[in-house]
């Protein structure tokens, strides 16, 4: 019967593993942020958007990282920024991402209790050099997505 086929069924009975992205709530986003330590921060530097990998820590409602003098320290503080982490499992065909946006703050010399607590978070930069300056993002927006891609076949998974 033409036109009555299930549009979700592919060849040989395969069907998409997921038809949509799953929205992660704020608690799930923070949990993923706390479970990882490598992300990307983006902002405009010298008139162009730039993306920088950073080792970070999440806690106290903020994302913090350390840096040396350079573009992040020159253009980051007081800038509107976007921070992102993601992950993928090629074997299961699943993936996720978390994005945080807000204004970046230099907390290196902040003497209040919160600034001191943020600087106690365990940030371990992998890149060489002395990273003596602390930058913090308290997200004004925090969002996350997860998905399951690929195709399911009865009795098997094809990514």
User: Per-residue confidence of the chain (159 residues) as pLDDT tens digits?
Assistant: 445 444 444 444 444 555 678 999 999 999 999 999 999 999 999 999 999 999 999 999 999 999 999 999 999 999 999 999 999 988 877 899 999 999 999 999 999 999 999 999 999 999 999 999 999 999 999 999 998 876 555 555 555
Question: Is 9 contained in some domain?
Answer: no
For the domain that residue 137 is a member of, what is the CATH number?
2.30.110.10
What pLDDT is stored for residue 156 in this prediction? 53
Question: Is 146 contained in some domain?
Answer: yes
Q: What is the dihedral of CA 83, 46, 77, 100, to 10 degrees?
A: -10
Domain tally, the chain: 1
Question: Is 13 contained in some domain?
Answer: no
Residue-number span of the structural domain to which 88 is assigned: 27-150
Question: Is 14 contained in some domain?
Answer: no
Question: Is 17 contained in some domain?
Answer: no
Question: Is 85 contained in some domain?
Answer: yes
Other beta carbons less than 10 A from residue 142's beta carbon: 20
- pTM equals 0.81
CB-CB contact of 17 with 148 (8 Å): yes
CB-CB contact of 40 with 85 (8 Å): yes
């Amino acid at each position: 019967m033409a036109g009555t086929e299930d549009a979700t069924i592919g060849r040989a009975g395969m069907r998409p593993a997921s038809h949509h992205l799953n929205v992660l709530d704020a608690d799930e986003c923070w949990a993923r942020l706390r479970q990882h330590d490598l992300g990307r921060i983006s902002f405009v530097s010298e008139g162009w958007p730039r993306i920088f990998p950073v080792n970070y820590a999440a806690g106290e409602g903020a994302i913090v990282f350390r840096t040396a003098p350079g573009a992040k320290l020159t253009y980051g503080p007081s800038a509107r920024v976007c921070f992102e982490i993601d992950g993928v499992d090629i074997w299961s065909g699943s993936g996720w991402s978390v994005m945080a946006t807000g204004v970046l703050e230099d907390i290196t010399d902040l003497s209040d209790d919160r600034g001191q607590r943020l600087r106690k978070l365990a940030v371990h930069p992998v890149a060489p050099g002395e990273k003596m300056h602390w930058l913090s993002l308290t997200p004004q927006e925090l969002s996350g997505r997860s998905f399951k891609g690929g195709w399911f076949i009865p009795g098997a998974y094809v990514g």
